[in-house]
Amino acid sequence: MHDLQTVLVLSRWQFAATALYHFLFVPLTLGMTFLLAAMETVYVTTGRQIYKDMVRFWGKLFAINFALGVATGLTMEFQFGTNWSQYSRFVGDVFGAPLAIEGLMAFFLESTFVGLMFFGWDRMSRGKHLLITYMVALGSNLSALWILIANSFMQSPHGAKFDPATMRLELTSFTDLIFSHDAQAKFVHTSIAGYVTAAMFVAGISGWYMLRNRHMELAKRSFRMAVLFGVFASIGVISLGDALGFIDGNAQPAKLAAMEAMWKTKPPPVGFNVIAFPSQKQQRNLFDIQIPRLLTPLVTRTMDTVIPGADQVEKQAVVRMKDGIPAVLALKTLSADPTNPAALAQFRAHEQDMGYALLLERYAPDLTAVTPADYQRAARAVIPDVPVIFWSFRVMVLAGFVMLLYLGIATFCSMNNKVQERRWLLKIAPWLIPLPYIACEAGWLVAEMGRQPWTVYGVLPTWMSVSTQSVGYMVFSLAGFVLIYTAFIAVEAYLMLKFIRKGPDEGAAPAH
């Protein structure tokens, strides 16, 4: 059991590390494709060479990011078979469908047209090349759509049913899978976050050029398009983030309790914790600053709906554990006698709570002799890591509003041709480039750590999903991935800085 716990921890660290590294490349890819398409649309409609120069220059930086993003993403899927084989067996029928579509449709679409976009300038008309650029943008965002549909099933499972004959989840409704509220809200929120990332990236580098009086025509136009693109994207990402929080709050009350550091259920309307220092061990906040009565309308859109705190979530979990025990016991009978009608009827009567009994098994291997202490330990495990989720959520939200404020001011000044008079706007622009990346990584932590202790929320506990690897193998593979992915980050930084310092091609035609 000790080795299993160690392997579980190392497997989670490995997947978290590779996902966090990979997600450093994804948002810029998603956003740059549509920003490039917007620049090229202006070129095609106006015929001005400067906009073509903009597309080709920013396209080089996009290509570097795209190539390394693909390299870091390919290895991630192999971990499902190596480190999470029990998860893959249990949910592969459902999880594999959107990933297969992503590979066959979106990834190949994107990869094919990327080559045409970079090497087809002199081989096709302006209109055809513009269509290719839009196809690259469509492919990259479709790729994100299918991946997020797969991820959203883990957050809010829809369209599948457990089959006791095969002992695995099986897809029952592809429509329910792809049109779940969580999947749609998460896709739009994530994609628009990529647009903000691209806007801050282009604005930051353009501001750096303008401060040094380099490539002024390209920099001024790039800055204006980026901040205008970004201010609308920022409004969208905040609005969709609010919608996603509303959906997750209803689907995952434990995550909501962690995001808001709500340990006790209180009569509505309850206050919003602006700052808090939560103690997971003591299950209370050691210190907090609240805005009274604000949380209830933010989360529920009403003033009188009760928001369950961690105490209520734990009580409900115990009830579901007790109700799920007969389902797990029936499964053990069905594994030996698949046609046993009494066991099948018992399973069907309690299958909705089976996952909670499986979670309980980690603390009480004999479900026929569960003690109150076992229930308490299992119930406490339902609440994810509150300090990490609480602060990650606030970092994400604060970063979002800071970017909206900056982009709003920059858009106003740019539209009034006063950017160069407000040099402070240009000076802080490069320093704000990391901000959307920080927000995206923090959002990922909220989404994924907030789902714990489940791989499929309420259905499959994380402790049952891991492969039976050795501790030595996990240490070796984790170290290897960290070293390789760190090298990828170093390569990206080197190439990006090299081409940024070089700037656009010196032979580019002048603006006219």
Are 229 and 257 within one domain? no
**In the listed set 383, 400, 423, which residue is the last one of a domain according to the structure?**
383
Are 351 and 397 within one domain? no
Are 374 and 399 within one domain? no
* Overall domain count for the chain: 2
Are 241 and 263 within one domain? no
Residue 397 domain flag: yes
**Three-state SS string across 285-347, please?**
EEEEEEECCCHHHHHHCCCCCCCCCHHHHHHHHHHHHHHHHHHHHHHHHHHHCCCCHHHHHHH
Residue 164 domain flag: yes
Q: How confident is the model at residue 108 (pLDDT cuts 50, 70, 90)?
A: confident
Are 46 and 109 within one domain? yes
Indicate if the pLDDT at residue 434 is higher than 80: yes
Rounded Cα distance, 396 and 60, in Å = 29
Question: pLDDT, tens digit, for every residue of 169-193?
Answer: 998 988 888 888 888 888 888 889 9
Instruction: Check if the beta carbon of residue 350 is closer than 8 Å to that of residue 323.
Output: yes
Are 231 and 284 within one domain? no
pLDDT value at position 143? 85
Are 264 and 367 within one domain? yes
Helices 354-361 + 372-381 axis angle, to 10: 110
Across 378-497, the runs of DSSP E, i.e. the strands, are 454-456, 460-461
Residue 213 domain flag: yes
Q: Which of 76, 62, 403 is nearest to 238 (CA)?
A: 403
Are 341 and 401 within one domain? no
Are 405 and 329 within one domain? no
**In the listed set 358, 383, 408, which residue is the last one of a domain according to the structure?**
383
pLDDT value at position 2? 53
Residue 468: both structure tokens together: 């039976």
Are 100 and 229 within one domain? yes
Measured in degrees and rounded to the nearest 5, phi and psi for residue 368 equal: -90, -5
Torsion-angle region of residue 503: left (phi > 0), alpha (psi -120 to 50) or beta? left
**In the listed set 350, 383, 416, which residue is the last one of a domain according to the structure?**
383
Query: Strand 160-163 relative to strand 168-171: parallel, antiparallel, unpaired?
Result: antiparallel
pTM of the predicted protein model:
0.91
Mean pLDDT of the residues in the chain: 88
Residue 508 domain flag: no
Measured in degrees and rounded to the nearest 5, phi and psi for residue 454 equal: -115, 145
Measured in degrees and rounded to the nearest 5, phi and psi for residue 123 equal: -115, 0
Contacts by 372-379, CB closer than 8 A, 24 or more apart: 375/318, 375/321, 375/322, 378/317, 378/318, 378/321, 379/314, 379/315, 379/317, 379/318, 379/321
Residue 68 domain flag: yes
Are 477 and 404 within one domain? yes
3-state secondary structure of 99: helix
Q: Range of 263's domain?
A: 253-383
Run of H or E including 430: none
Residue 510 domain flag: no
Question: pLDDT, tens digit, for every residue of 296-351?
Answer: 888 888 888 898 999 999 999 999 999 999 999 999 898 888 888 999 999 999 99
pLDDT value at position 186? 86
Are 179 and 227 within one domain? yes
Q: How confident is the model at residue 508 (pLDDT cuts 50, 70, 90)?
A: very low
Residue 248 domain flag: yes
Residue 6 domain flag: yes
First to last CA, the chain: 72
